């Protein structure tokens, strides 16, 4: 029982405080992984990828996935209900004045500061994901920051902490993204294929 309550409560909080779409719910996933056993931080990148490449709202997909992994069908239901309940409650209040809602000064003021703050929170998620996916699994203990003397020491230090295959793939993806605009789904499928071929 208590795990269902935790799922509902945590996703209720995420629904209530994530402004600006699905990505804004991701910082809350990290918070949950620090606090509870039912969400391991290692699966967060996988669950983001699955949520982005399936139809529907990103936040709802993520909630269903976390809830299902934590406690099966009841868990998926509790997490998803938790996430959408604040929306429904808030909309009941907003609906009465929806035609003037966006002109209200305090809404504009709040939104002015919330948008950059949310970008900051999402950037932390990106940073956490990068750290995990680009760092090498078996760190070489011979090289450490304290005995760096020359350029080649820096290079060998970087090589020892970075997963070179992942860095190259990341660089290629960023270059392609700057040149052409295709749907995220293709990047996910493409890098899955590269992962299989080059044994990531």
Partner 1 sequence: MISLLDLYITFLKISSVTFGGGYAMLPILHKELVERKKWVDTDDLLNYYAIGQCTPGPIAINTSTLIGYQKRKLPGAIAATAGYVTPSFIIIIIIASVLQDISHLEIVNNAFGGIRVAVPALIIMAIAKLWKSSIKDGEGFLIFLGSFAISIFLNLSPIYVIIGAIILGLIMKRGEVPSKSCEIKSENSEKISQTQKKD
Ranges within 111-140 binding partner 1 (CB under 8 A): 111-127, 129-130, 132-134
CA distances 95 to 87, 103, 111, Å, are 12, 14, 18
182 binds partner 1 (CB under 8 A): no
Residue 167 CB neighbour total at 10 angstroms: 16
CB 4 → partner 1: shortest distance, Å? Answer: 16
Q: Pick from 4, 7, 8, 27: which binds partner 1 (CB under 8 A)?
A: 27
Residue 8 CB-density burial (10 A; 0-12 exposed, 13-18 middle, 19+ buried):
buried
Interaction of residue 145 with partner 1, rule CB under 8 A = no
Which one of 8, 38, 78, 80 is in contact with partner 1 (CB under 8 A)? 80
CB of 192 to partner 1, least distance (A): 4
Angle between helices 105-134 and 26-35 (to 10 degrees): 60
Residue span 161-180 as binding mask against partner 1, x where in contact by CB under 8 A, dash where not: -----x--xx--xx--x---
Instruction: Please give the residues from 29 up to 68 whose contact with partner 1 meets the rule CB under 8 A.
Output: 31, 34, 45-46, 48-61, 64-65, 68
87 binds partner 1 (CB under 8 A): yes
Under rule CB under 8 A, residue 70 binds partner 1: no
Q: How far apart are the C-alpha atoms of 28 and 6, rounded to whole Å?
A: 13
Least separation, in Å, of the C-beta of 148 and partner 1? 24
- Interatomic CA distance for residues 56 and 60, integer angstroms: 7
Count of residues in contact with partner 1, rule CB under 8 A: 104
First to last CA, the chain: 39
- Would you count residue 7 as binding partner 1 (CB under 8 A)? no
Indicate whether 74 belongs to the interface with partner 1 (CB under 8 A): no
> What DSSP letter does each residue of 60-99 carry, written as one string?
HHHHHHHHHHHHHHHHHHHHHHHHHHHHHHHHHHHHTTHH
Q: How far is the CB of 151 from partner 1 (least distance, A)?
A: 27
């Amino acid at each position: 029982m208590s795990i269902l309550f935790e799922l509902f409560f945590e996703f209720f909080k995420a629904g209530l405080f994530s402004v600006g779409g699905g990505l804004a719910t991701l910082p809350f996933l990290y918070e949950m992984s620090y606090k509870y056993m039912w969400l391991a931080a290692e699966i967060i990148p996988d669950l983001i990828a699955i949520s982005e490449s399936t139809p529907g709202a990103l936040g709802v997909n993520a909630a269903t996935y976390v809830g299902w992994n934590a406690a099966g069908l009841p868990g998926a239901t509790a997490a998803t209900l938790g996430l959408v309940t604040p929306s429904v409650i808030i909309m009941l209040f907003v609906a009465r004045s929806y035609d003037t809602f966006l002109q209200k000064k305090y809404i504009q003021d709040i939104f002015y500061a919330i948008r950059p703050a949310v970008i900051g929170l999402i950037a932390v998620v990106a940073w956490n994901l990068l750290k995990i996916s680009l760092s090498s699994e078996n760190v070489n203990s011979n090289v450490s920051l304290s005995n760096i003397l020359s350029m080649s020491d820096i290079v060998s230090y970087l090589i020892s902490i970075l997963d070179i295959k992942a860095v190259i793939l990341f660089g290629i993806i960023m270059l392609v993204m700057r040149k052409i605009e295709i749907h995220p789904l293709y990047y996910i499928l493409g890098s899955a294929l590269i992962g299989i071929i080059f044994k990531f």
